[in-house]
């Protein structure tokens, strides 16, 4: 996004309201409704959902962490939460900046479930 847009997000100066608060709520809701959106995704009991943001000069990074005690992992819930939070940021900022892009939705780490622990190798990333 343009630096002016990032500054408005950081200073809570967008006309639609608090962008990051709305994006956090949207991400949490998305994590809880993932099985309704993805046809082959199992419904699971979602426990904790945390949506965190990092702001740079011309970007906002979204990170979601989802936890469950259910029988399977919640990586789809975490990635859905991140994507929907990013889309909410776009929606709330599009009146001042339509050049924004949403890029690089990726799983960074998964603990538990049948497949055990998995972590992306940061050195292999572009």
Q: Give the catalytic positions in this structure.
A: 91
H or E element, residue 109: strand 109-110
Q: Which of 25, 2, 22, 26 is nearest to 12 (CA)?
A: 22
Helix (H, G, I), strand (E, B) or coil at 63: strand
Say how far apart CA 97 and CA 88 lie, in whole Å.
14
Label residue 112 left, alpha or beta by phi (over 0 means left) and psi (-120 to 50 means alpha): left
Say how far apart CA 98 and CA 95 lie, in whole Å.
7
């Amino acid at each position: 996004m343009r630096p002016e847009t990032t500054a408005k997000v950081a200073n809570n100066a967008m006309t639609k309201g608090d962008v990051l608060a709305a994006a956090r709520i949207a991400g949490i809701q998305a994590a809880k409704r993932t099985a309704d959106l993805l046809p082959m995704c199992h419904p699971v009991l979602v426990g904790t959902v945390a949506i965190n943001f990092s702001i740079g000069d011309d970007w906002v990074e979204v990170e979601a962490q989802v936890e469950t005690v259910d029988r399977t992992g919640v990586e789809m819930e975490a990635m859905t939460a991140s994507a929907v939070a990013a889309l909410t940021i776009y929606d709330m900022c599009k009146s001042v900046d339509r050049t924004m892009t949403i890029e690089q939705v990726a799983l960074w780490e998964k603990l538990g479930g049948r497949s055990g622990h998995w972590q992306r190798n940061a050195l292999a990333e572009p």
